[in-house]
Amino acid sequence: MFLICGEALFDLFGEAASGDSLTFDARIGGSPFNVAMGLARLGEEAAFFGGISKDAFGEKLVQKLRDEGVSDRHILRTAYLTTLSVVQKDDHGQPAYTFYGADAADRMITADDLPVFSEPPMFLHIGSYTALVDPVATAFKTLIGREKGNTLISFDPNIRPTVVPDMARWRSNTRSLVPLADIIKVSDEDLALIMPGEDYGEVARDWLSLGAGLVVVTRGQDGATAFTRNARIDCPGVTVKVEDTVGAGDTFQAALLAGLKELGARDRDTLMALDEAKLARLVGFAVKAAAVTCSRRGADLPRRNELEKEWATLK
């Protein structure tokens, strides 16, 4: 089982209406939420652990997980409200973000709320702002400390300046989580925010020296680069007609985790022993999966039957 931990929220896209009115198009969001959905669409057994409100937005979030085949048995339902991210365009068409998340359901998890497993998950993934803000971040770190000997830990920093604008805080928190993680996926854009001017290869090698087993740096249309202590591969991007890039990173993350399982990298020793050929197939699969999402509007992650040819190349 893949256990995906983190936020579930709604993005509200605002448009000016007549008079003093605003209209909003509410869309389900949250990077970990998308990763869980992406794994389920790839035919994997995925469960979501996070705080979800009992409000109307929360009901929609839980129903979406059920509809996608993601297990909801570890979801914590609370009276806290759902996080809302309001997106409006300025006079020049540029999006402006306003975040309503203080004391929201997805960040009010404590160590007392952590699930107890009859069988530990194969992979445990955390990321984005719920890995940074308390009390949920401390709870997730407690969960990692408890389960690290039983599962592979995956981490995506997924920097969100609209939630916490302090990049020094993001950088410090990321570095504190690196030694706890076996798999780290990070975008070059996120590295530019928290480590401006630093070479991503040097960053990856530093993280490996701190204890990570696999570091993958995604580079948008230029593909991705993967590092282990014994190997490095550069995978080119895939040319597609881009509709938008919403959910592409989450698709890459889901495909990366599913691909690791398919390659048999279900423990730390096997993960660290991946050779360049296997790494190339793994990252190539994740890049192609992300390209499918880029070709469609919104976080519409691909299903297994859309990637049968790519899946077959893993082994």
CB within 8 A of 56, min separation 6: which ones? Answer: none
Residues β-bridged to residue 215: 184, 227
Nearest Cα residue to 84 out of 29, 133, 22: 29
Tokens of 294: 């880029």
- Rounded CA-CA distance 51/192 in Å is 30
How many Cα atoms are found within 13 Å in the side-chain-facing hemisphere of 185?
A: 30
- Rounded CA-CA distance 60/72 in Å is 13
Domain coordinates in residue numbering, the chain: 32-53+112-312
The pLDDT profile of the chain, 315 residues, written as one tens digit per residue, is: 999 999 999 988 887 666 777 888 888 989 999 999 999 999 999 999 999 999 999 999 999 999 999 999 999 999 999 999 887 766 655 566 789 999 999 999 999 999 999 999 999 999 999 999 999 999 999 999 999 999 999 999 999 999 999 999 999 999 999 999 999 999 999 999 999 999 999 999 999 999 999 999 999 889 999 999 999 999 998 888 887 778 899 999 999 999 999 999 999 999 999 999 999 999 999 999 999 988 887 788 999 999 998 888 887
CB within 8 A of 202, min separation 6: which ones? Answer: none
pTM: 0.95
- DSSP per residue over 66-133, as a string? HHHT-B-TT-EEESSPPPEEEEEE-TTS-EEEEEE-TT-GGG---GGG----SS--SEEEEEGGGGTS
Superfamily of domain 32-53+112-312: Ribokinase (3.40.1190.20)
